[in-house]
Each structure stands twice: as structure tokens, then as C-alpha cells.
Structure 1
């Protein structure tokens, strides 16, 4: 199994990170991320005295987004430097949720893992967008780099070299695809203030889970479980994984269930 997960808790600065690294082509990249990603982002946040949300406008501060993007590229460069050619199609996607001061949420997404929230009224709120061939912006970026999309049962990308097929557009590692410029580690970053949107919980999972469940189904099953077992928050993740397996998922599944209150 190439999936990895990591939990970082800094009670002094009131920062918590929940991350899933869905590896492919070997465990090197996902294992490297498990060991280094959260710590690197955490230190980057501590180095900058960021005012995440303006008291006047309520909008997120772009400086934190720029800092995270810079650190993501630094991490990817280090992965490519350490592992340049022995496994050119070894890589990993990423989904990470950062909770600061029990109020501010930052979601970092690279690839096709996903984070979905449930607010206090029971509504489903997507926190990330999958980087897949069905996304028009990703399709345009691939085509401008010389790659193209073809359909053989499912959408996939064929790069400049005819032997390269993959189901994702963004990832860490994958030296060969980075050299062809058809793959990037550029993250999507979403910021939320829980004073503006009250969330009850977040489901963070790799694509093996979302292949068989929609956002709404995942939230429905979680809420249904909690209605019957209201004190069993710690068992929701296991329940959801078992549900996905029963529905026919044939991929590795990593899942984190984050209770916010």
C-alpha cells in the first residue's frame, strides 16, 4: 500500500494538520511526504507573522497562500532532486486540512483526493476540487503543454511520450511527467473562517473512497451513523471505509474524519 497519512498537533500555537498522501508507482514519494510535508508547512506558517483574516474585510490574507505554494514547490523540488530517475513515474497526490485556533481552516489539494464538510444544518460543502481530465482548466493546461486527453472507457491523459497514461493532473514527484511539463505540483488552496460558516465535521479521503461515493452520500452515511451511535465519533472513519468497500471500491482507501465541535 502506497497511501500514507499524517497528523500534526501543535497545542502551543493551536495548529493542527490532517494530511493524506495517495502514492503511486512506489512508496518513496508518499513516504517522504509523510515524514516531511506537515513539518515543513508548519514551520513556514510559524516563520511568517500572518494575519490570516483581516478584521476589516473578513477576507483571507493572500500572504499565507503564497507562502504555502512556495513551500509546496520547495518540497517537490527536493523530491525530484533526491529521486530523479530510478522510478520516473513514482509520485503522490495530497489533501491536507489545517485548523488554526479552532477557527481558521486552510485546505491544500494536489490531485484527486478530496475534503468534504458538513455544516451544522446538515448541508454538504465541498472543500476541494479534483484535478482530473473532466476539469476544463486542467484539460487546457495539459493541451497547452503538448499532451492530450483520450477516452478508453475513462478519461486519461497521454503525454508527449506515448507510453505515459495517468488519471491525475497534479502530483508530487513523477519526474518524467514533470520533464514533459504535463504535470505540476501547484496546489489549490481554500481558506475558511468558522465564524462565517459553522462546520460540524470534515471527511478527508483518497480517491478510492470517492470513486464509489458522492459527497452527499458520504455526508449522509456519516450523519446516519452518528444518529444511531451519537457517542461513537471515533468509529465513523472505519464505518465509512467499510461502506466504500461494500460498494465495490477496489483501490486503497485512506480516510480521516475530523470532528470540529
Structure 2
């Protein structure tokens, strides 16, 4: 126990050295008590701890929960559609500032975060996830950066990591290179899903909620993309590839193509079905394949009644990939989009209606749409093509700032 306390004190010393960047010490009172609370219960424990005054804290520049599409920073649209209720929610921050200590000293890394949560059986799970995700994710990143920078990480790790610098406080702290940062973001994404689910479980048991939610989240940083998901909300990468034209020298043509970044967690997926059956559940087709004839997905936040039958909230994470100049749009949408449109249809709408570089909606043709209008065009097209579900989408125009140089 004493060794553990000493390690936490050393971690705190590193946290203090980073306060010039994040200004956390005076505003958020990061302390040994906070570090201990985090170790015991993750991000939710920080808000419950009486000794760690973070209960009212949320990261700046986040999405407004009362008007979720107004301050998203990315193009977004939500439509209730033909349902009598709205269970879709979104959360996003186009430039979450993450502090870390790298080879060039202390600096901020800008991380774009975009998430779609499609609720079922009620809006409680999707509402909870959308309100908590940004705060929990930021804390998971921040506290794991502190841990990574700690000089006390065990003898083996200390011997392997010989790169260190003297911080202003006089404490030796390990440098966090780009690879470490990507690993931290990956782990933070997974932990945030776990934190959301564990805390919603407490809420659901206390209030007798039966609801659940999908969750599809994309991170964009330094021209790289990471996607994690549970359920059947999708993420697509819409791209244009240049092809040499046979019509003459020096000319070329563009062809559109789509990459589906997610693979729906449906009960007829062999790997998902195997887990359900191993846990004692079964798959029955009632309209579509369903777990125990009830739930049309095998992974979800919430859905407590089906946990013992193999339904989990552990996200599937697609490995980091580098964006290129071919990549034009990232789309994250609830399954209501894809009741009326195929992924190829979605990308075609974007490529056919987006303003060309150097033009605007006012200067272009009538079909040249600003990003916000593109999101609305997708939602309205899905509705007009027969979608009966709630419909929500986030469209991210992958400008040069997101591309690898």
C-alpha cells in the first residue's frame, strides 16, 4: 500500500508539471485523491468522489446538449422521422485540446471527436451516453497521459523507456511520442465505452430502465482516423480516386468509392452469434435475427436484461488508418439512414452536391451545398426513400487539415 501511495505522489508531480498547459490544478484540483479515485473506478468515480471536485466539470468547446446539432462543429442533422419519439443522440467536439509532453516539450494535440448514439427501448441510454461521452473521454485521455508520463511504471517499463526529460518541477518524466499518444487515445476510447456502460448500469438499476443504445465514435488526429463502435450505427469513408482519362493527355477523371469502417453487430454475424449461444442465449428471426427473439444487435450500451445472454458493451475498434487526399468525407449515421439509402447512395449525395474547392453555396450552382446542408440532404433523402426510424448523421468534410502531408 505504501508503494502504491508513493507511485501516486510521483504521478501527481508529473501532473503538476503539465498544469501550465491544461490549467487543471487551480480550476479542477487534480490531486492524489483524484488519481486514486480514477484507479478504482475510472472517469465516473472522479465525479462521485467527495475529495475530487470534478462533478460539475465538462471539457470546453463541446456540443450543446440542448441543441446538439447547433454547436457540433461538424455538419449534423437529426430527424424524428415516422416514429412518435426521438431516441437518436449525437455528441461531438471538432477540436478537443489534449495536453501531452513530447519531444518538442509541452503542447496541445487537437482531437476531433464525433459520436452517434441510437437508442432503443427508450432514450435513457442514448441520452446518458451523449451527455457523458466527451467528459469521460477527456478524463480517460488526460489521466492515462499522466500515468504514461510517470517515472514509476515498474522496472521493466522503466528500463525499456530511456527517453526522458526534466520537467519544470524537477521531476523526471517519460516522453510521450506519437505512437504512445495513439495508444493512449485507443485505450481511452475503449475505457470510455466501459465507463459509460458501467455508470448507465447504475442508473438503469436505480430507475428500472430497460433501454439500450448503439454507439459509433470516430477520432481524427494528425491526419489519422480511429473508429470504435457497438451496435449497428455506421461509419463510412467517402473518397474520390483520380483515374487517367483515355480522352487525351494531361486529363483525368474522378471515381467515387466508399469504405464501410464498421461491421454491424447483428446476431447473424457468426462470431457474435457464437458468443450469444456460448452464454446461453439464442438467435431467433422475427423480422430480422434477434438475441432471444428480442434485440436486433449483439452489442449495446445498456440492455441489462440480456447481459447474461452474451450482449456486451465492449466496442470493436478499427485500427488507426492514415487519411489521404483521396478521402473527402467521413460519415457517421444511425441505421435509420440506411433503411432508405445504401452507403454508396450516401457518398454519391455528398460528392454530387458538395461545393468544389474555391466555391461557396452562394457562388456555386444550385446543387452546390454547404456542409450543414449536405447533412440535411442525406437525412431528407433517407426519409423520402422510406426510412421509418429516427435518422441522424454527422458529416465531416476531410479538408487538408485532416490529411497526412
Same fold (TM over 0.5): yes
Please give the residue correspondences for 1:174-189 in structure 2 after superposition, counting only pairs within 5 Å: 174-178=303-307, 180-189=308-317
| Match 1:106 to one of 216, 220, 226 | 226
Corresponding residue number in structure 2 for 1:80: 201
Counterpart position of 2:260: 126
Distance in 2 separating the partners of 1:17 and 1:61: 14
Distance in structure 2 (CA, Å) of the matches to 1:63 and 1:256: 25
How far the C-alpha of 1:29 sits from its partner, in A, is 1.4
Residue in structure 2 matched with residue 236 of structure 1 by the alignment: 374
Q: Structure 1 unaligned runs (5+)?
A: 55-59, 159-163
On the 8 A contact 1:110/1:188 being kept in 2, the answer is yes
Q: Does the 8 A contact of 1:25 with 1:87 survive in 2?
A: no
Report matched runs for 1:207-222 at 5 Å.
207-222=335-350
Q: Over aligned residues, Cα RMSD in angstroms? A: 2.3
The alpha-carbon distance between structure 1 residues 72 and 195, as it changes in their structure 2 partners (threshold 3 A), is closer
- Find the aligned partners of 2:324 and 2:369 in 1 and give their Cα distance: 27
Distance 1:248 1:200 in 2: 27
Q: What secondary structure is seen at the aligned counterpart in 1 of 2:264?
A: coil
Q: Partners in 2 of 1:120 and 1:233 — Cα distance?
A: 17
Distance in 2 of aligned mates of 1:52 and 1:176: 41
The residue number in structure 2 matching 1:37 is 133
SS in 1 for 2:340: coil
Structure showing greater radius of gyration is 2
How many residue pairs get aligned? The number is 249
Preserved CA contact (<8 Å) 1:134 1:155 = yes
Structure 1 residues 258 and 84, CA, compared in 2 at 3 Å: closer, same or farther?
same
Per the normalisation by structure 2, the TM-score is 0.57
Whether the aligned pair in 1 keeps the contact of 2:194 and 2:314 (CA below 8 Å) is yes
Alignment of 1:1-261 (within 5 A): 1-8=86-93, 9-11=95-97, 12-49=108-145, 51=177, 53=179, 64-84=185-205, 86-101=207-222, 103-121=223-241, 122-158=256-292, 165-178=294-307, 180-194=308-322, 198-226=326-354, 229-230=367-368, 232-261=370-399
Counterpart Cα distance in 2 of 1:3 and 1:189: 22
For residues 46-92 of structure 1, the C-alpha deviation after alignment (integer angstroms, 9 at most, x for no partner) is: 333464548xxxxx965543443233222211111122164452111
- TM normalised by structure 1 equals 0.86
